[in-house]
């Protein structure tokens, strides 16, 4: 279960921490957690500030295909797929690969990329409606931390269950009290977060044996 930086090819995001902290009111947090239009495509203080396809996931998709030896017959599931950008790019860089996604946001799925229509479904990470060992690889990038700890444990167990042994999870974390303070001033939707040791303990509780990485806000 190694730590792997699969998102190294993504451009670095510029964050105005002070502006977000000043705007982080209870009603803003509540609206963000609806995962609707305001979260994805509303003002930046509510979430992404405009979640639009720009091709940035293409190199990440290439790295994923290479890292896990995926090919035309491979099946991949993206848990927390949003509008399906990574699902689309995995299929574009590896023709024949069968990629699917699940997300809790009806808004995101209604505004998904045309290439992934019919491949995305409404579902929570803790209830994946697939048989055991359905996928060669299961991914979940910056989604599991949006569940409380007990539900996050269930979600990790579900990811383990539907995979054939290969999985990758990235979640919010920090390495120092200073990083934690920055994280807490920025985060809108995370229900559970911890230092890496706390996450590794949760992985063990869930029986999760896949790869992982941390999203650290600086």
Q: Which domain holds residue 194?
A: 56-213
Whole-prediction pTM: 0.93
- Is residue 17 situated within a structural domain? no
Instruction: Report the domain count for the chain.
Output: 1
- Is residue 150 situated within a structural domain? yes
Q: What is the pLDDT of residues 75-130, one digit of tens each?
A: 999 999 999 999 999 999 999 999 999 999 999 999 999 999 999 999 999 999 99
- Is residue 143 situated within a structural domain? yes
Contacts of 12 (CB under 8 A, 6+ apart): none
CATH number, domain with residue 120: 3.40.50.150
| Triad 7, 196, 132: Cα angle to 5° | 70
What is the distance, to the nearest Å, from the Cα of residue 20 to the centroid of all Cα atoms in its chain?
Answer: 21
């Amino acid at each position: 279960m190694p730590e792997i930086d699969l998102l190294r090819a993504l451009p670095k995001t510029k964050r105005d921490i002070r502006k977000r902290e000043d705007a982080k009111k209870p009603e803003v947090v509540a609206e963000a957690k609806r995962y609707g239009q305001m979260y994805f495509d509303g003002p930046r203080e509510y979430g992404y500030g405009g979640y639009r396809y720009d091709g940035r996931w293409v190199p990440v998709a290439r790295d994923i295909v290479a890292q896990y030896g995926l090919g035309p017959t491979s099946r991949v599931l993206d848990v927390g797929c949003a509008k399906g950008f990574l699902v689309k790019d995995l299929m574009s860089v590896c023709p024949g690969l069968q990629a699917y996604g699940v997300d809790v946001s009806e808004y995101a799925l209604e505004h998904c990329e045309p290439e992934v229509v019919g491949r995305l479904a409404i579902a929570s990470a803790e209830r994946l409606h697939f048989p055991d060992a359905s996928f060669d690889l299961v991914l979940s990038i910056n989604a599991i931390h949006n569940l409380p700890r007990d539900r996050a444990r269930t979600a990790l167990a579900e990811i383990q269950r539907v995979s054939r042994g290969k999985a990758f999870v990235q979640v919010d974390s920090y390495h120092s009290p200073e990083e934690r303070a920055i994280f807490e001033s920025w985060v809108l939707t995370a229900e559970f977060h911890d230092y890496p040791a706390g996450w590794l303990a949760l992985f063990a509780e869930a029986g999760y044996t896949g790869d992982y990485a941390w999203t650290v806000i600086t």
